[in-house]
Amino acid sequence: MGLITIVVPCYNEEAVLPAFYEAVCEVAASFKKSEAFEFLFVDDGSADSTLAVIQGFAKHDRRVRYLSFSRNFGKEAAIYAGLRHAKGGLVALMDADLQDPPDYLKPMYDAITEEGYDCAAARRVSRKGEPKIRSFLARRFYGIMRRISNADIVDGARDYRMMTRQVVEAILSVTEYNRFSKGIFGWVGFKTKWLEYENIKRAAGETKWSVWKLFKYSMEGITAFSVAPLALASFSGIALCGVAVIAILFIIVRQLLYGGSAFGWPSMACIVIFIGGIQLLCVGILGQYLAKTYLEVKERPVYIVREASEEEAQV
């Protein structure tokens, strides 16, 4: 465990990177001399000067390495690439926006080296400063995932964590194209210590996660780690069949008692539209899972490296 790799996914983070680099270097200096650090920045196809800033770090600091993608592949791809190219016996994953407090690196390190944990991870106990709608949807998502998924996804969990090489290799063994790292972290298991902290605002720059992007990301997580939507579609079909049978019996009985009750196109149109909507919903759910399978079968690379600080295989 002599080398600690800090993996930092970056996308348009030129404004905050200098402050982040200074803060992480300060924390690294507080460790024992026997513990060496390397900083692996993964530029996820940034459109600003993020790569130039990282290259500036690398010119003056041999500990800095970087990968730069050919385009924006998304944070999940950046996380995967960083873990795959990390050399350390311990690997820490951090965001560059300083919402992940660098001071927690030391307690994470102590949890692994002194307390016997395989992983130490951070979770937010509050969402102060976030838009209320975003905070509400996030909490509902974690609640749903705990009920329908077999992955241990903790409410407020961040990607910020430090892991042993064994945990990293286990995560990398999950080679699926459609990645949901929070679910993968929980699915691989291992002994994890959770460190709690209050929400911290970005030090600079703007968040890249809109409500719509978070919604799509949550759909990725649900379809990646649960088949509950498929079961919901099946139960909906069974329930509608039951409703249809009851409705038919009701119409027959009313026709026998009063007559003229089995006619009328408005009621029929409403029933057809309702059932058609349910069918389209079920087909859509099936389509989501089929689309995932389609993308996996293609076996496309998770990311493509355009430029790197050293020779790196393009995987």
Question: Is residue 74 domain-shared with residue 168, that is, in the same domain?
Answer: yes
Report residue 313's pLDDT band, with 50, 70 and 90 as the boundaries: very low
Question: Is residue 220 domain-shared with residue 234, that is, in the same domain?
Answer: no
Burial 226-261, CB ≥16 within 10 A → b, else e:
bebbeeebeeeeeeeeeeeeeeeeeeeeeeeeeeee
pLDDT in tens, 104-137: 898 999 889 888 889 888 888 766 656 566 666 6
DSSP 104: G
Q: Is residue 313 part of a domain?
A: no
Average the pLDDT over 9-24 and give the result: 88
Flag whether pLDDT at 49 surpasses 50: yes
Domain extent at residue 245:
228-298
Q: Are 219 and 291 in contact (CB under 8 A)?
A: no
Q: Tell me the pTM.
A: 0.67
Average the pLDDT over 8-21 and give the result: 88
Report residue 7's pLDDT band, with 50, 70 and 90 as the boundaries: very high
Question: Is residue 222 domain-shared with residue 234, that is, in the same domain?
Answer: no
Question: How wide is the angle at C-alpha 87 spanned by C-alphas 85 and 89, nearest 5°?
Answer: 135
Q: What is the CATH number of the domain that holds 10?
A: 3.90.550.10
For the chain, the average pLDDT equals 76
Euclidean distance between CA atoms 86 and 41, whole angstroms: 10
Question: Is residue 84 domain-shared with residue 110, that is, in the same domain?
Answer: yes
Question: Is residue 109 domain-shared with residue 240, that is, in the same domain?
Answer: no
Report the percentage of the chain scoring pLDDT > 70. 62
Overall number of domains in the chain: 2
Flag whether pLDDT at 315 surpasses 50: no
